[in-house]
Amino acid sequence: MQEKEKNILHILLFFAMIGWGASWINAKVLSHYINAYDMVFFRFFITAIAMVPIMFYFRESFKIDLKSFLVAFLASFVFIAYMKYYFLGTKYGTAALGGAFVTTLVPILTYLFLAILKEKKLLKKDFFALALGALGVLTMLNIWSFNLKDIVAIQNLYFILASILWPIFTIISSKVKDISPIAFSFYLYLITIFLDGLFFVDFKSIRYESFDFYFWINLLGLSIISSVYSNTIYFIGISKLGASNVSTFIFLVPFSAIILSAIFLHEHINISIIVGTIMTLWAIKILNNIKFKKF
């Protein structure tokens, strides 16, 4: 890969991570219009449609084997549950805390779950990293204030549930081997909107008349930028640069969520969120042997 192409891909990856960080702000705004299940349906309905030309562009096959379909079916239920608590945590809490808390806790819990399933072996450095990550999480929750009411606030519980569900979703999805990530994502979105629309969405109760410019700009941002653009660029980055190089860009996500929350939602950013985020990111770096390189 030529240096110019690599630099362009680095820029695209930078904005992809910003897009993931912005998804927390989009969700916060949408929480004033619709509930969690409605958000899942509208978001991934648009996402699935937008994925069709991408499938054609990358010449992805629309065929799916039975095993991959069953995995996508099972993963969809966990995916919907994750989206519910991601949405509720953001609705009742702050986008800054959610973006920092969930995006840093997820890779730590994923690593821990894989170790419990004996798919990863814990080394001495890993125990230190897990302890550092736990300390970072407690710091983000501002446990050192010893204010029990704030620590056990409902939004914190939602964020914790979301952080537990995503690793389960990831581990289930990893069982798929015979279909590309882009094609699997496409079918995951299709099955998700089918199940969500069939069992959870009450279309008659939705207040369609309240859907103004701010609703649509945030829904499109969540669907097109966060889901389609960011995911696609991330997969391209892995195929062109390798997972180890692309993984360093993940560190931009929580900080972009924090900064964008302060700018667009005027949220007050506590020093505990910043310090806790840095601690958990450092734990992720140790766990995954991530090395920073000059791009």
292: confidence class by pLDDT, cuts 50, 70, 90:
low
CA 82 to chain centre: 10
Least confident among 52-66, 113-127, 241-255, 261-275: 241-255
Provide the whole-model pTM.
0.89
CB 96 within 8 A of CB 267: yes
Least confident among 11-20, 41-50, 120-129, 147-156: 147-156
The reported pLDDT for the residue numbered 146 is 65
The reported pLDDT for the residue numbered 243 is 67
Q: What is the pLDDT of residues 211-242, one digit of tens each?
A: 999 999 999 999 999 999 998 999 888 878 77
Burial profile 215-232: b = 16 or more Cβ within 10 angstroms, e = fewer = beebbebbbbbbbbbbbb
Other Cβ atoms less than 10 A from the Cβ of 260: the count is: 21
Q: What is the pLDDT of residues 101-147, one digit of tens each?
A: 999 999 899 989 988 988 888 888 889 999 999 999 989 988 887 67
Give one DSSP letter per residue of 99-113, joined into a string.
HHHHHHHHHHHHHHH
